[in-house]
Structure 1
Amino acid sequence: MNKFAYPQPKGVAPGNGYSHVVTGPGQWVAIAGQVALDADGKFVGEGDAEAQTRQVFANLDAALKAAGATWDNVVKLNYYLTDMAGLPALRTVRDEYVDTTRPPASTAVQVVALFRPEALIEIEAYAVI
């Protein structure tokens, strides 16, 4: 059972695939920005936004589990992309993880570069358990 509330702010257009506001009680979990590195530190999906996004979400999933959390606990996702053309692939993969009827709050930002030139996406997450 989800213990969070998703109020729609008056005067703000509804979000497309995200919530503007998520509130609720619990323990705060902050997950550092994840990139497409596998468990051995090897880069996954060079030049492929969807492959990188799949690895990033797998990393986020592992981090949530390490904190004793699930995707139902995620209240905020921040996306950093080097090219917004990767946003449709990101949304496709994201929708495999989050409840699309009550999606977390989120922010998507295009950046000039990430920590390695082959990195196309980085995602950080915040959860409350």
Structure 2
Amino acid sequence: MNSHLTHVAAPEGVAPGRGYSHVVWGTGRFIAVSGQCAFDEDGSVVGIDDPEVQARQVFENIRRCLAAAGASLEDMVKLTYFVTDIQHLTGIRTARDEVFAPDRLPASSAVQVSALILPELLVEIEAYALVRDEER
């Protein structure tokens, strides 16, 4: 567990969110990950017509991007989901719950969009993380 982050699911006077923290804060080095789609390492679309499979690939891509910056999914503070159909959130949440502990969910937003870069893509997720500064 990364104690440099604090997650608050429901601040006083705010209704609890369903599957996200309203507030996440901490100290450290900020990392921004561009919106990731369901492309495998060869650039092929994974999980055509299946938002849950696409989300698993997206989270794996985010994990790899964070690793390149010396971070992990545990350092995540914010996710923004762009979906072509808001109904896809059910499958996306299933994939999300496979990688995040229920008490360590990032802050998040979800936006339905008319299209993504390719018609086969159902979800794109951008991510922000905060890595603890190591003493030198």
Which TM-score applies when normalising by structure 2?
Answer: 0.90
For the 8 Å contact 1:2–1:72, the answer to whether it is kept is: no
Q: How far apart are 1:2 and its partner, in Å?
A: 2.2
Does 2:44 correspond to 1:42? yes
* Aligned counterpart, 1:4: 5
Residues in 2 aligned to 1:54 and 1:6: alpha-carbon distance in whole angstroms: 23
**CA RMSD across the alignment:** 1.1
Other-structure match for 1:17: 19
Is the CA contact 2:21–2:105 (under 8 Å) kept in the aligned structure 1? Answer: yes
Pairs aligned (count): 129
Could you tell me how far 1:6 is from its partner in structure 2? 2.4
Structure 1 runs (4+) greater than 4 angstroms displaced? none
Partner deviation per Cα, 1:74-117 (whole Å, 9 max, x = no partner): 00000010011111111111011112112110001111111111
How far 1:10 moved relative to its partner? Answer: 2.5
Partner of 2:127: 125
Alignment of 1:1-129 (within 5 A): 1-7=2-8, 8-129=10-131
Percent of residue pairs identical: 52
| Separation (CA, whole Å) in 2 of partners of 1:120 and 1:26 | 33
Cα distance in structure 1, aligned partners of 2:52 and 2:104: 23
Unpaired runs of 5+ residues, structure 1, are none
Give, in whole Å, the separation in 1 of the partners of 2:87 and 2:7: 28
CA distance in 2, matches of 1:2, 1:47: 38
CA offsets 1:29-83 (integer angstroms, 9 cap, x no match): 0000000111011111111111111111110111111111111100000001001
Give the letter aligned to residue 5 of structure 1. T
Tell me which protein shows more strand as a share of its residues: 2
Distance 1:95 1:11 in 2: 26
Consecutive unaligned residues of structure 2, counting only runs of 5 or more, are 132-136
* 8 Å Cα contact 2:7-2:103 kept in structure 1: no
